[in-house]
Amino acid sequence: MTKTTNQPKTGVLIVNLGTPDSPNTPDVRKYLREFLMDARVIDIPFMARFALVNFIIAPFRAPKSAKIYQKVWEERGSPLKFYSQDLEVLLQAALGDEYIVSMGMRYQSPSIEQALSKLKDKGLEQIIVVPLFPQYASATSGSVHEKVMQLIGQWQIIPDLKLVSSFFENPLFVEAFAELGRRYKAEYNYEHYLFTYHGLPERQIHKGDMSGGKCLTNGCCDTLHAKNKLCYRAQCFATSRFLAEKLGIAPENYTVSFQSRLGKDPWIQPYTEDVIHQLRDKNIKSVLAFSPSFVADCLETTIEVGEEYREVFEHRGGEHWRLVESLNVQPLWVETLKSIVFQYENKPVAAQPTI
Ligand SMILES: C=CC1=C(C)c2cc3[nH]c(cc4nc(cc5[nH]c(cc1n2)c(C)c5CCC(=O)O)C(CCC(=O)O)=C4C)c(C)c3C=C
Ligand SMILES: [Fe+2]
Ligand SMILES: [Fe+2]
């Protein structure tokens, strides 16, 4: 008996940020140039951006960043890339042959164009685009959406296109991170919990402000409502509340902070480094850190949070600092993505945990 296969109807494009092809300075420079020349990432006029990126950031930062990339590089390459490649295979297996899953990177390789070629001319009825960023930012999910629309816009037949903006509210996503956190909590009685997110220039938050100029004023991100539900900072605070509730962490026992500031402009606050000093001022000796703006371990989690911030904490006399690893290829994360796809197809989703 021959096995029947279904004609795929839905394409699922998952997209992560991108990473250099190798941890050598020329490849890191090439990556930084492509990444930072994106007008949604460094959102200043073209000539100013060109000069800043090509004459200041790329030449001076590339050798320093290359040294850090060498630390994070494994036998299979950059973790951000190989976890995304594994995720493509696992999600395909989870969704079955009615779907074609394809993975691309916004910068460098595999490019979104290469990833879309796997979905082109396959008679697909729809494509669901899932940028692998839980919270929406113009610099990440927005940039992926723009690139996908630009490329698919050139196709002869354009299928239904669904663009996922964020998924921080997805109960399985929250549960997936909580499941990891519970293991660490069971091992050690941490005094404090830190939810540290990638930062953004304040300017980019103001540009998307729908609250009539209230964004970034006192307490504007403390609750999520109609006027700030697309604000990256408000979404990060909401993610932290969901996680803290799931893990039974009282509000006074956790702090939200933002890392990885680039340049001199103000970025969203509080800065992670300042928070670490404040925690030590209060004589907090042990911290469990989560990085819930990333779904795969990378330079920003393993090195920046796991090593550099640990050193700052220990240098100030802190004793126990641990980073909860990212979702990587955790089964519940694959289930999360499957549930996102089903949700966008209006298919019933298996019973989900509550948040
Ligand atoms: C959560 C998602 C991310 C947001 C938001 C984001 C904004 C943002 N980033 C830069 C500059 C850099 N980011 C770098 C690395 C990097 N950034 C993200 C995610 C977000 N960035 C990831 C996943 C990574 C790691 C990639 C990896 O290969 O491991 C870097 C390069 C590293 C370095 O030199 O420090 C830069 C530079 C800006 C300017 C920005 C907002 C506008
Ligand atoms: Fe970044
Ligand atoms: Fe806000």
Whole-model pTM?
Answer: 0.96
pLDDT at res. 139: 98
Instruction: Judge if the beta carbon of residue 107 lies within 6 A of ligand 1.
Output: no
Q: Is 10 helix (H, G, I), strand (E, B) or coil?
A: strand
Cβ within 8 Å of residue 93, ≥6 positions away: none
Ranges in the chain, pLDDT < 50 = none
171-323 is classed in which CATH architecture?
Answer: 3-Layer(aba) Sandwich (3.40)
Residues bordering ligand 3, an ion, CB closer than 5 Å: 215, 220-221, 228, 231, 233-234
Distances (CA, A) of 22 to 75, 80, 84, 132, 278: 11, 12, 16, 22, 37
**pLDDT for the residue 1:** 52
**pLDDT at position 85, please?**
98
Report ipTM (2 d.p.): 0.95
- Fold adopted by 10-167+331-344: Rossmann fold (3.40.50)
The pLDDT tens digits for 180-231 are 999 999 999 999 999 999 999 999 999 998 888 888 888 889 999 988 999 9
CA 329 distance to own-chain centroid? 14
pLDDT of residue 263: 87
Query: Which atom number of ligand 1 is nearest to the Cα of residue 43?
Result: 42
pLDDT of residue 352: 74
Q: Tell which one of 54, 236, 239, 260 to mutate to probe ligand 1, the residue whose CB is within 8 A of the most ligand atoms.
A: 260
Which ligand is nearest to the Cα of residue 227, counting in written order? 3
Binding site membership of 140 for ligand 1 (Cβ less than 6 Å): yes
Distance 36 CA to ligand 3 centre (A): 24
Distance 6 CA to ligand 3 centre (A): 45
Domain residues of the chain, as ranges? 10-167+331-344, 171-323
To the question of whether residue 300 is assigned a binding role by annotation, the answer is: yes
| Identity of the residue numbered 334 | V
What distance in Å separates the CA atoms of residue 223 and residue 133, rounded to the nearest whole number?
20
Distance (Å) from CA 121 to ligand 2 centroid: 33
Do 171-323 and 10-167+331-344 have the same topology in CATH? yes
Model pLDDT, residue 215: 86
CA distance 313 to 249: 21
Q: 304 vs 70, 284, 309, 323, CA distance in Å? A: 13, 20, 6, 10
- Annotated binding-site residue? 169: no
pLDDT for position 258:
98
The residue whose CA has the least distance to atom 30 of ligand 1 is: 32
